[in-house]
Amino acid sequence: MPVDLQALYPKLIHLMLDTVFVVDRDNQIVFVSDACQALLGYRADELTGTPITDYMHPDDLAKTRASIVRVMNGQPHFDFRNRYIRKDGGVVHILWAAFWSEEVGARIGVARNVTALWQAEEELRFLAHHDPLTGLANRALFNDRLDAALRAAQRHDSSLALLFLDVNDFKGINDVHGHAAGDQVLRMIARRLQGCVRETDTVARMGGDEFTVLLTDIQSQGDVCEKVAQILAVMAEPPDADSSVLTMPSCSIGIACYPADGEDADTLLSHADDDMYRIKRQRSAAG
């Protein structure tokens, strides 16, 4: 007995894990497969007869309309991504394959939920530019921002400052309290540094117990000294309540200012590093 494929096709469509949409010239949904409930939270009968644009994330409307024009002009789109708003208000990231059928007089699209993939990609992008322990910018991102800040300072004839911070006797914390406590201290330092600067400034962990702070658009050397004093005061505050260390370690901070101490990134970093070690030596001599 031959298989009746015509009767089988609709059942196959509703078995698909991806969602099939059929949309007319006026962007009205004329058909949607059962998988839409898992994708958007709506039953098929709730979506049929409504504009598909009603469910698109507003920030993606412009680029989605451009894709629709492309598809309706006979250029299938097999790798288009956008976001939709679910019935529960959540956001879902969708990968589309779509084409225009002149025979049917409608746009046919297959939608796949790629929210988990998008989240994984975002995490990878974050980890490529940030320190996994503290969430601060890493060395690569800091260097990029320093280069950009120097170009801007040169264009606008403005100043910037670079602070190089090192934790005093950090090895002792690890030796006495363990590496988990050392990690706690590094995270506390990162949070406190971020709380001392503006959104336009950058705090980075360069590795180990070394941090840098990029202060842009500095008005005077006095402003830099005040910022260093503020940071030292904040670092001297008691540890967070959930910390396993009883006291916060002190820090040594070196300073380099553009253009007085150098006009390129390497010179400024070297100057700030040297200044930090000078302060460390002074502290050791005094102690």
Give the closest residue to 144 by CA, choosing from 207, 212, 208, 197.
Answer: 212
Query: What is the CATH classification number for the domain harbouring 37?
Result: 3.30.450.20
Q: Which residues pair with 177 in a beta bridge?
A: none
The alpha-carbon radius of gyration of the chain (Å, integer) is 28
Select from 68, 87, 119 the last residue of a domain. Answer: 119
Note the pLDDT tens digit of each residue in 59-111: 999 999 999 999 999 999 999 999 999 999 999 999 999 999 999 899 999 99
Q: What CA–CA distance (Å, rounded) separates 260 from 23?
A: 64
Helices (H), 199-240: 221-235
Instruction: Specify the length of the chain in residues.
Output: 287
For the chain, how many structural domains are there in total? 2
Q: Which residues pair with 215 in a beta bridge?
A: 161
Q: What is the pLDDT of residue 282?
A: 85
| Same domain? 144 vs 115 | no
Query: What is the CATH classification number for the domain harbouring 143?
Result: 3.30.70.270
Note the pLDDT tens digit of each residue in 16-68: 889 999 999 999 999 999 999 999 999 999 999 999 999 999 999 999 999 99
Q: What is the pLDDT of residue 219?
A: 85
Helices (H), 132-249: 139-156, 170-177, 179-196, 221-235
| Same domain? 206 vs 147 | yes
Say if residue 15's pLDDT is above 90.
Answer: no
Tokens 């949904």 belong to residue: 29
Q: Which residues pair with 257 in a beta bridge?
A: 161
Say if residue 144's pLDDT is above 90.
Answer: yes
| Same domain? 183 vs 230 | yes
Cβ contact 11:24 at 8 Å: no
Provide the Cα torsion 165, 168, 172, 178; round to 10°: -30
Note the pLDDT tens digit of each residue in 204-252: 999 999 999 999 988 888 899 999 999 999 999 988 777 777 778 899 9
| Same domain? 99 vs 224 | no
Q: Which residues are catalytic?
A: 209
Range of the domain at 30: 5-119
